[in-house]
Amino acid sequence: MKKYIILAMAAASILLAGCGSSDTSECQNDEVKADCNDGKYSKCVDGKWTETLCEGDASCNAENQCGVCKNDAVDETCTDGKFKKCANGQWEEIACEGGASCNAENKCGVCPNDAVDETCADGKYKKCANGQWEDMACEGDASCNAENKCGVCQNDAVDETCADGKYKKCANGQWEETACENNASCNAENKCGECSDGEEKADCKDGKYSKCENGAWVETACADNSSCTKEGTCGKCQEGAVKDCENGENNIGMVTICKDGQWSESKVACPSESGSVSCTADKKCGECLSGDSTKCKEDAADADRVGSAILCKDGKWTTEPAKCPGLTSCAMTDKCYQCNRECDKKFTGENNEACKKECGDCDTKCGECNTGTSKNCKDDSDGVGSADICINGTWKNDNCSVLRSGFTVSCLVEQENNSICGQCKNTKANQCFCINPGHPVYDPSNAFSARTESTCANGYFKKTETCYECVDDDAGACECLVL
């Protein structure tokens, strides 16, 4: 519009000049030309065109007129992420560098709002707010990872949840699986336990030891009820157990025995409260010593006093009594013998058992000989015999008179190297015996109705014709010894 006014004024001046006016002005005052260059334009001052600076030192615009600002001038006032910069004399909106947002001072910031710089340092990254970078703590206070980004956890944080003997520990902002201490297994609460499953302690006591199950120590019985060793471990056997029984000397069972949970290297006698025992057929310790006997009993009517007893065979007692081996008599004390004999004579059935109870400890066994027999007889200088005499089933060395109702006798040699107590004491020459009734060898069926006249040689009576009828005083040619 201004342009058109200037043109009109110029046209009017021409018209006036053509009418013969004598005015010499080039232009109308304040008239301007659209010839702006380098911030200057032509303006009519006092009728003359004058080069004039654009107002405010503004630069020329695209229409060769003065603009409103000087080129490259900047208005830093920021709006919607833009500031103003002068170009061709006009203000132009320019986006803040890097797309930054306006800051709190309405200037261009250094970053676009909500932009994120993931570079992590000391557990913080940067986020743009009001055009400025602000340190932000990693989510969950996580630490930086190896890529200098926010990790997923805080260094040294622990996730105690246990799986396959491992828990999680944070390192470089990342969860890392870590073996439980001492390679412990997980426990029932899915935490690291105190031990590794299957691990065992050498703390065995009373057949129990500590074994690790589900990460915890559990008191556990030794396998097969085995006993503890001295080292505190479970052994291979139960204390006192025996195996591989074999009879040794004197039929005594010898076994491998368990001591401190280990089988002995050498064999020992079967342990038994009742004394020595033999092995059974199945190679176990028996209940008795083979060849032993108990509850021996003699038939009162048996002159040989052969005993019957419960016998031990293959380490076990027979269920029924049998004759003593070798047909020997029962071995018992005199008191026990008398008690049994008297009970057998006087009582039967329950009464017999009641009688036996009165005998006290009267457990009898088969003896080693027949009561009343003798062996190894030897005469002394007076011709009196002493021998090994079987008394109540046991050999005892004594005077032969104990077998002959107190009568002194000499030895009777049956065969070479075998002599026994005889029937009489050997007589000297011109001596004979008058055997009266009551003497152990008196025979009422003998031809001598009252007395038998005999001599004694080799401990044995021998009838003789040289003796006269026995009288109380000396008679005939021989000395009559009244027995």
209-253 confidence digits (pLDDT tens): 999 999 999 999 999 999 999 999 999 999 999 999 999 999 999
Q: What is the pLDDT of residue 412?
A: 87
Q: Specify if 398 maps to a domain.
A: no
Question: Which two tokens mark 262?
Answer: 């280990």
In this structure, the answer to whether residues 464 and 437 fall within a common structural domain is yes
Residues comprising the chain, all counted: 483
In this structure, the answer to whether residues 100 and 117 fall within a common structural domain is yes
pLDDT in tens, 403-414: 887 878 889 887
CB 73 within 8 A of CB 65: no
In this structure, the answer to whether residues 336 and 306 fall within a common structural domain is yes
Phi-psi bin for 29: left (phi > 0), alpha (psi -120 to 50), beta?
beta
Q: Specify if 99 maps to a domain.
A: yes
pLDDT, mean over the chain: 82
Q: What is the pLDDT of residue 82?
A: 93
**Which of these three, 87, 115, 137, is where a domain ends?**
137
- Domain holding 465, by residue range, is 431-482
In this structure, the answer to whether residues 327 and 362 fall within a common structural domain is yes
As for how many domains the chain has, the answer is 5
In this structure, the answer to whether residues 275 and 298 fall within a common structural domain is no
Q: Specify if 421 maps to a domain.
A: no
Query: Residue 81 pLDDT > 60, yes or no?
Result: yes
Q: Specify if 247 maps to a domain.
A: yes
Phi-psi bin for 167: left (phi > 0), alpha (psi -120 to 50), beta?
beta
Q: What is the pLDDT of residue 482?
A: 44
Q: Specify if 462 maps to a domain.
A: yes
The secondary structure of residue 361, as a DSSP letter, is S
**Which of these three, 266, 289, 312, is where a domain ends?**
289
pLDDT in tens, 278-316: 999 999 999 999 988 888 887 777 778 888 888 999 999
CB 395 within 8 A of CB 368: yes
Q: Is 23 exposed, middle or buried (0-12, 13-18, 19+ CB in 10 A)?
A: exposed
Query: Residue 449 pLDDT > 50, yes or no?
Result: no
Alpha carbon of residue 158 to chain centroid: 32
In this structure, the answer to whether residues 285 and 313 fall within a common structural domain is no
Alpha carbon of residue 133 to chain centroid: 64
Q: Specify if 405 maps to a domain.
A: no
Cα separation, 9 vs 317, in Å, equals 162
When pLDDT is averaged across residues 344-357 and rounded to a whole number, the result is: 58
Q: Specify if 90 maps to a domain.
A: yes
Q: Is the pTM of this model over 0.95?
A: no
Question: Which two tokens mark 106?
Answer: 């309405």
In this structure, the answer to whether residues 363 and 304 fall within a common structural domain is yes
Please tell me which of 24-38, 180-194, 467-481 the model is most confident about, judged by mean pLDDT.
Answer: 180-194
* Cα maximum dimension of the chain: 241
CB 64 within 8 A of CB 34: yes
- H/E element, 434: strand 431-435
